[in-house]
């Protein structure tokens, strides 16, 4: 039993798992949410607090917002592809 083990658990490895999972999940969710938010730029808030659609009118979206939105979503697509890479052993 090495010094960094307590009750037989490798807490250092556990800490790394926690830190990486935390960072990955929060980054992916934030980028995805940011992408959705940017796609909504220029439109009125049309979704009620309870999730119902109150208006279907689409506003005009500045080019910057569109580019930013797709950049954010691209980060998420990359994360999904990396996830597939991790799952499928034939890739590594």
Residues of this chain that bind other proteins (CB under 8 A): 7-10, 13-14, 16-18, 20-22, 24-26, 28-30, 32-37, 39-40, 43-53, 76, 80, 83-84, 86-90
CB 40, min distance to other proteins, A: 4
Contact between 41 and 65 (Cβ < 8 Å): yes
Distance CA 26, CA 61 (A): 26
Minimum Å gap between C-beta 30 and other proteins is: 5
Of residues 33 and 67, the one with the C-beta less far from other proteins = 33
Residue number with CB closer to other proteins (3 or 50): 50
Minimum Å distance from CB 68 to other proteins? 13
DSSP 29-89: HHHHHHHHHHHTTTSPP-B-TTS-B---------HHHHHHHHHHHHHHHHHHHHHHHHH-G
């Amino acid at each position: 039993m090495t010094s960094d083990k307590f009750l037989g658990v490798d807490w250092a490895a556990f800490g790394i798992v926690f830190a990486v999972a935390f960072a990955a999940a929060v980054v992916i969710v934030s980028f995805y949410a940011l992408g959705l938010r940017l796609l909504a730029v220029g439109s009125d808030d049309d979704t009620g607090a309870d999730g119902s659609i109150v208006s279907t009118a689409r506003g005009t979206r500045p080019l910057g917002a569109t580019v930013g939105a797709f950049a954010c979503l691209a980060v998420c697509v990359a994360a999904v592809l990396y996830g597939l890479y991790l799952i499928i052993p034939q890739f590594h």
